Amino acid sequence: MFATPSVQTAFVKTYPATKNTVLDSCATCHMPAISDSLNRYGAELVFAPMGFKEIEGIDSDHDGVTNIDEIKALKNPGSRSENPEYFVFTNRKGTVDFDHEAHVLGANYLINGKCAICHGPGKFPRVYNDDVLVKQFAHQICWRCHKLSGSESAPRECSDCHMK
Protein backbone atom coordinates (compact mmCIF):
# COMPACT_ATOMS: atom_id res chain seq x y z
CA MET A 1 0.00 0.00 0.00
CA PHE A 2 1.28 3.44 -0.88
CA ALA A 3 0.17 6.44 1.11
CA THR A 4 -1.93 8.73 -1.02
CA PRO A 5 -4.78 11.10 -0.25
CA SER A 6 -7.10 8.23 -1.22
CA VAL A 7 -6.02 6.31 1.91
CA GLN A 8 -7.02 9.28 4.04
CA THR A 9 -10.30 9.55 2.12
CA ALA A 10 -10.97 5.83 2.69
CA PHE A 11 -10.23 6.24 6.41
CA VAL A 12 -12.74 9.10 6.70
CA LYS A 13 -15.30 7.13 4.67
CA THR A 14 -14.86 4.20 7.08
CA TYR A 15 -15.07 6.51 10.12
CA PRO A 16 -17.25 9.51 9.09
CA ALA A 17 -17.02 11.12 12.55
CA THR A 18 -13.33 11.78 11.88
CA LYS A 19 -14.03 14.20 9.01
CA ASN A 20 -12.46 17.61 9.66
CA THR A 21 -10.86 16.43 12.92
CA VAL A 22 -7.24 15.79 13.87
CA LEU A 23 -7.66 12.26 12.49
CA ASP A 24 -8.47 13.63 9.03
CA SER A 25 -4.76 14.07 8.31
CA CYS A 26 -1.62 12.27 7.21
CA ALA A 27 -0.46 12.19 10.86
CA THR A 28 -3.03 9.47 11.61
CA CYS A 29 -0.59 7.02 10.01
CA HIS A 30 2.58 9.08 9.63
CA MET A 31 4.45 10.74 12.45
CA PRO A 32 6.36 12.65 11.39
CA ALA A 33 4.34 13.11 8.23
CA ILE A 34 6.79 11.76 5.67
CA SER A 35 6.43 8.70 3.49
CA ASP A 36 9.05 6.50 5.14
CA SER A 37 8.05 7.27 8.71
CA LEU A 38 4.96 5.43 9.88
CA ASN A 39 3.57 5.43 13.37
CA ARG A 40 2.47 2.07 14.76
CA TYR A 41 -1.06 2.37 13.34
CA GLY A 42 0.32 3.11 9.87
CA ALA A 43 2.72 0.18 10.21
CA GLU A 44 -0.22 -2.15 10.99
CA LEU A 45 -1.90 -1.00 7.76
CA VAL A 46 1.15 -2.04 5.74
CA PHE A 47 0.23 -5.63 6.60
CA ALA A 48 -3.51 -5.06 6.19
CA PRO A 49 -3.77 -2.60 3.27
CA MET A 50 -6.92 -0.50 3.64
CA GLY A 51 -7.89 -2.92 6.40
CA PHE A 52 -9.04 -0.30 8.88
CA LYS A 53 -11.74 -2.63 10.21
CA GLU A 54 -9.25 -5.54 10.44
CA ILE A 55 -7.06 -3.67 12.91
CA GLU A 56 -9.80 -2.03 15.01
CA GLY A 57 -9.33 -4.46 17.89
CA ILE A 58 -5.55 -4.02 18.00
CA ASP A 59 -3.84 -1.56 20.34
CA SER A 60 -1.26 -0.34 17.82
CA ASP A 61 0.42 2.18 20.11
CA HIS A 62 0.39 -0.09 23.19
CA ASP A 63 -1.34 2.44 25.41
CA GLY A 64 -4.02 0.05 26.67
CA VAL A 65 -6.77 1.37 24.36
CA THR A 66 -7.85 -0.38 21.15
CA ASN A 67 -7.57 1.43 17.83
CA ILE A 68 -11.35 1.65 17.42
CA ASP A 69 -11.84 3.12 20.90
CA GLU A 70 -9.18 5.73 20.17
CA ILE A 71 -10.76 6.54 16.80
CA LYS A 72 -14.20 6.90 18.43
CA ALA A 73 -12.62 9.25 21.00
CA LEU A 74 -10.90 11.13 18.12
CA LYS A 75 -7.48 10.20 19.50
CA ASN A 76 -4.62 9.04 17.31
CA PRO A 77 -4.49 5.22 17.35
CA GLY A 78 -0.81 5.29 16.39
CA SER A 79 0.49 7.59 19.11
CA ARG A 80 0.50 7.35 22.89
CA SER A 81 0.77 11.10 23.08
CA GLU A 82 -1.96 13.69 22.69
CA ASN A 83 0.59 15.81 20.89
CA PRO A 84 3.54 14.97 18.68
CA GLU A 85 5.94 14.22 21.54
CA TYR A 86 6.14 10.48 20.95
CA PHE A 87 7.56 9.36 17.62
CA VAL A 88 7.92 5.96 16.04
CA PHE A 89 10.30 6.06 13.09
CA THR A 90 10.19 3.13 10.71
CA ASN A 91 12.90 2.04 8.34
CA ARG A 92 14.48 -1.14 7.01
CA LYS A 93 16.68 -1.53 10.11
CA GLY A 94 13.60 -1.64 12.37
CA THR A 95 11.37 0.80 14.21
CA VAL A 96 12.83 3.35 16.59
CA ASP A 97 10.58 4.58 19.41
CA PHE A 98 11.52 8.07 20.57
CA ASP A 99 9.84 9.75 23.52
CA HIS A 100 10.74 13.42 23.09
CA GLU A 101 9.09 14.48 26.34
CA ALA A 102 11.07 11.93 28.37
CA HIS A 103 14.32 13.06 26.76
CA VAL A 104 13.58 16.72 27.47
CA LEU A 105 12.28 16.39 31.02
CA GLY A 106 13.61 13.07 32.31
CA ALA A 107 16.10 13.37 35.14
CA ASN A 108 18.14 10.45 33.79
CA TYR A 109 18.80 12.24 30.48
CA LEU A 110 21.52 14.86 29.92
CA ILE A 111 19.23 17.34 28.19
CA ASN A 112 17.45 18.87 31.21
CA GLY A 113 15.29 21.10 29.03
CA LYS A 114 18.21 22.49 27.00
CA CYS A 115 16.82 22.34 23.45
CA ALA A 116 20.13 23.44 21.86
CA ILE A 117 21.71 20.09 22.74
CA CYS A 118 19.70 18.48 19.91
CA HIS A 119 18.20 21.41 17.97
CA GLY A 120 19.85 24.20 15.99
CA PRO A 121 22.18 24.71 13.03
CA GLY A 122 23.70 21.39 11.97
CA LYS A 123 21.29 19.54 14.28
CA PHE A 124 17.61 18.63 14.28
CA PRO A 125 15.42 21.58 13.24
CA ARG A 126 13.36 23.09 16.08
CA VAL A 127 10.21 22.80 13.95
CA TYR A 128 9.54 19.59 12.07
CA ASN A 129 10.64 19.82 8.45
CA ASP A 130 9.69 17.13 5.90
CA ASP A 131 12.87 17.82 3.95
CA VAL A 132 15.20 16.87 6.81
CA LEU A 133 15.78 13.16 7.25
CA VAL A 134 15.86 12.16 10.90
CA LYS A 135 18.60 9.65 10.15
CA GLN A 136 20.77 12.52 8.91
CA PHE A 137 21.22 13.75 12.50
CA ALA A 138 20.08 10.88 14.71
CA HIS A 139 23.20 8.79 14.49
CA GLN A 140 25.49 11.74 15.14
CA ILE A 141 23.52 13.47 17.92
CA CYS A 142 21.89 10.49 19.65
CA TRP A 143 24.99 8.31 19.68
CA ARG A 144 27.09 11.14 21.11
CA CYS A 145 24.71 11.59 24.05
CA HIS A 146 24.30 7.86 24.57
CA LYS A 147 28.07 7.46 24.83
CA LEU A 148 28.63 10.56 26.99
CA SER A 149 25.85 9.76 29.43
CA GLY A 150 27.77 6.98 31.13
CA SER A 151 24.40 5.39 31.84
CA GLU A 152 24.24 1.61 31.73
CA SER A 153 20.74 1.87 30.25
CA ALA A 154 21.69 4.21 27.38
CA PRO A 155 21.40 2.37 24.06
CA ARG A 156 24.77 1.69 22.45
CA GLU A 157 24.11 -0.98 19.82
CA CYS A 158 22.00 -0.56 16.65
CA SER A 159 19.52 -3.17 17.88
CA ASP A 160 19.05 -1.26 21.16
CA CYS A 161 17.13 1.41 19.24
CA HIS A 162 16.16 -0.29 15.99
CA MET A 163 13.59 -2.92 16.98
CA LYS A 164 12.64 -5.56 14.41
In a domain, 44, yes or no: yes
Residue 77 lies in a domain: no
Residues 95 and 157 in one domain: yes
pLDDT at 30: 75
Q: How many domains does the chain have?
A: 2
Ramachandran sector of residue 150 (left: φ over 0; alpha: ψ -120 to 50; beta: rest)? left
With respect to residue 135, please indicate whether it lies within any of the assigned structural domains. yes
Domain extent at residue 35: 5-72
Q: Residues 85-125: pLDDT tens digits?
A: 777 777 788 888 887 867 876 767 777 778 888 888 888 88
The model's pTM: 0.55
Weakest mean pLDDT among 25-34, 67-76, 91-100, 146-155? 25-34
Give yes or no: residues 55 and 110 share one domain: no
